[in-house]
């Protein structure tokens, strides 16, 4: 591609994206293709000769889109949202265009310094503890995902608790409602499954601080070394919120590292009235949330903060000869390679910077507020219909509900809704019962889509009951 070819193809690609997003409602939300159907339509071997860019765009329309589940569809209510936005898409493009690899400050100072600066903006915009700002002992870094954030938090915790030598004695704590990435991180870090203790939850499915204290005391008495606790603010199943303000003092008393995973819910803190999600964060050694879920920033973007960066860097820093440079050795700069698992890193701060600058805090607040309001509205409709019940308090944009009756009736309802192509919902289990999850959080979702979803749910339930 010559520079002129690139310009032409680039404009065409942006046009394609703009048209896709404008017409996204014409597609069924969830792809209905059978396994293998996309590959069946692709040539078995790569082309011998170059092909025109238009041919690729055609194949996007004819092969890729039919096999796509449209996460940006306004009636996508499955899992948690995975927000994109025009400024963040352009941020990704600019990052690819500049093409730097920001492993060290010296490999591109702007890549590091913009990230440090934007992460300080995040602390201010979300009302997070000052200890997370970069001027002091702590600081923030963009990880690819919350899973990576939890893993590096665990490695820092292990470092502070005596390092690998002491690992076999260590105990880690979380609740059964925590995301599976906690268990996965523990396995990757080389902990046995029996070293991860699942602490009891209360009626709201939040971790019980008194049960945590008891478990820690029992483990200490048995000669184990309690080292790490992961609290969840907004669990994946139901957005249950662990009482971090009660868990924090327990962790402090026993010198455990407290990591708080607010992957989905953390974005809500951009609205001062929703800062219940920040309660107790002053006790946290580390914290993460995903702007790539609910803050209009394309995947991948997880904001990870530590109150003290030393144990993190001690755990992850190895300086081979080929990476030595004056700035690093003078200790005058941040080298984010020491804050993450891989060496190389993308210029992810660009998209978050563009999001802040394009929406402003006010725009981000409006985005979150409408979803929370519609979540409450939807829950009130469910409560008013005697055939249904709300299964967990809807704190934010997620509503968990079920049809009165057995699990099979709920499974049938979910299958029929998703097969319609008009909505996409997922399910979970709450206290052993099948529960449907409707997660409101898409940038393109409007009130009418939530309304239409409820109308479809009640109509489908009626039809199934009559059948």
Site residues (vs ligand PLP, CB under 6 A): 80, 145-147, 179, 181, 232, 234-236, 261, 263-264, 290, 302
- CA torsion through residues 250, 164, 116, 271, sign: negative
Among residues 181 and 460, whose Cβ is nearest to ligand PLP? 181
Distance, in Å, from the CA atom of 305 to the CA atom of 152, rounded to the nearest integer, reads 11
Least distance (Å) between residue 192 CB and ligand PLP: 22
Angle at CA 82, nearest 5°, toward 240 and 340?
85
Give the nearest distance from C-beta 178 to ligand PLP in angstroms: 7
Residue 333 Cα to chain centre, angstroms: 28
φ and ψ at residue 226, rounded to 5 degrees: -60, 130
Closer to ligand PLP by Cβ: residue 267 or 290: 290
Which of 108/201 has CB closer to ligand PLP? 201
Cα–Cα dist 72/83, whole Å: 7
CB of 261 to ligand PLP, least distance (A): 5
Q: Which is nearer to ligand PLP, 90 or 301 (CB)?
A: 301
Nearest distance, CB of residue 291 and ligand PLP, angstroms: 10
Q: Which is nearer to ligand PLP, 87 or 185 (CB)?
A: 185
* Residue 354 to residues 89, 115, 124, 360, Cα–Cα distance (Å): 9, 12, 17, 10
Question: Least distance from C-beta 82 to ligand PLP, angstroms?
Answer: 9
To ligand PLP, the closest distance from the beta carbon of 16 in angstroms equals: 27
Q: Which is nearer to ligand PLP, 213 or 438 (CB)?
A: 438
**Shortest spacing between CB 251 and ligand PLP, in angstroms:** 18
Task: Report the nearest approach of ligand PLP to the CB of residue 300 (Å).
Answer: 7
Closer to ligand PLP by CB, 84 or 232: give it: 232
Give the nearest distance from C-beta 441 to ligand PLP in angstroms. Answer: 12
Q: How far is the CB of 149 from ligand PLP (least distance, A)?
A: 8
Q: Which is nearer to ligand PLP, 264 or 381 (CB)?
A: 264
Q: How far is the CB of 56 from ligand PLP (least distance, A)?
A: 28
Could you tell me the CA-to-CA distances from 362 to 15, 40, 139, 301, 368 in Å, in that order? 28, 47, 25, 21, 10
Tokens 């964060």 belong to residue: 281
Name the residue nearer to ligand PLP (CB basis): 146 or 461: 146
Which of 290, 298 has the CB closer to ligand PLP?
Answer: 290
> Cβ closer to ligand PLP: 153 or 333?
153
Contact between residue 317 and residue 298 where contact means Cβ atoms under 8 Å apart = no
Looking only at the bridges linking them, the beta strands covering 388-390 and 302-306 are: unpaired
């Amino acid at each position: 591609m010559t520079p002129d070819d690139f310009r032409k193809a680039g404009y065409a690609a942006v046009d394609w994206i703009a048209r896709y997003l404008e017409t996204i409602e014409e597609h069924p939300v969830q792809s209905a293709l059978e396994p293998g159907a996309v590959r069946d339509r692709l040539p078995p071997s790569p082309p011998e000769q170059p092909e025109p860019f238009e041919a690729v765009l055609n194949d996007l329309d004819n092969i890729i889109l039919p096999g796509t589940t449209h996460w940006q569809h306004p009636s996508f209510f499955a899992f948690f949202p995975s927000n994109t936005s025009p400024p963040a898409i352009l941020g990704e493009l600019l990052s690819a265009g500049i093409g730097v690899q920001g492993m060290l400050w010296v490999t591109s100072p702007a890549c590091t310094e913009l990230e440090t600066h934007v992460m300080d903006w995040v602390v201010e915009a979300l009302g997070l503890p000052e200890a997370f700002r970069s001027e002091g002992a702590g600081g923030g870094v963009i990880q690819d995902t919350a899973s990576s954030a939890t893993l590096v938090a665990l490695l820092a915790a292990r470092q502070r608790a005596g390092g690998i030598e002491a690992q076999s004695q260590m105990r880690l704590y979380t609740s059964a409602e925590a995301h599976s990435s906690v268990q996965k991180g523990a396995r990757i870090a080389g902990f046995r499954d029996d070293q991860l203790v699942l602490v009891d939850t209360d009626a709201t499915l939040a971790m019980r601080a008194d049960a945590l204290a008891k478990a820690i005391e029992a483990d200490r008495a048995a000669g184990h070394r309690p080292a790490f606790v992961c609290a969840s603010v907004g669990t994946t199943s139901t957005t249950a919120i662990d009482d971090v303000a009660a868990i924090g003092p327990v962790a402090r008393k026993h010198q455990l590292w407290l990591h708080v995973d607010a992957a989905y819910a953390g974005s809500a803190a951009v609205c001062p009235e929703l800062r219940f999600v920040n309660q107790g964060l002053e006790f946290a050694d580390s914290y993460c949330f995903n702007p790539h879920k609910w803050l209009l920033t394309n995947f991948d973007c997880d904001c990870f903060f530590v109150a003290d960066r030393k144990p993190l860097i001690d755990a992850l820093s190895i300086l081979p000869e080929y990476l030595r440079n004056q700035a690093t050795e003078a200790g005058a700069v941040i080298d984010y390679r020491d804050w993450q698992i891989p060496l190389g890193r993308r210029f992810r701060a660009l998209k978050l910077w563009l999001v802040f600058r394009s929406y402003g805090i006010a725009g981000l607040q409006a985005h979150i507020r409408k979803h929370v309001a519609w979540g409450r509205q939807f829950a009130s409709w469910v409560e008013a219909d005697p055939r249904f019940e709300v299964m967990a308090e809807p704190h934010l944009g997620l509503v968990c509900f079920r049809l009165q009756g057995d699990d099979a009736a709920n499974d049938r309802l979910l299958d029929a809704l998703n097969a319609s192509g008009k909505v996409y919902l997922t399910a979970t289990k709450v206290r052993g019962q099948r529960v449907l999850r409707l997660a409101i959080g898409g940038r393109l979702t409007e009130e009418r889509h939530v309304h239409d979803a409820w109308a479809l749910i009640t109509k489908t339930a009626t039809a199934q009951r009559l059948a």
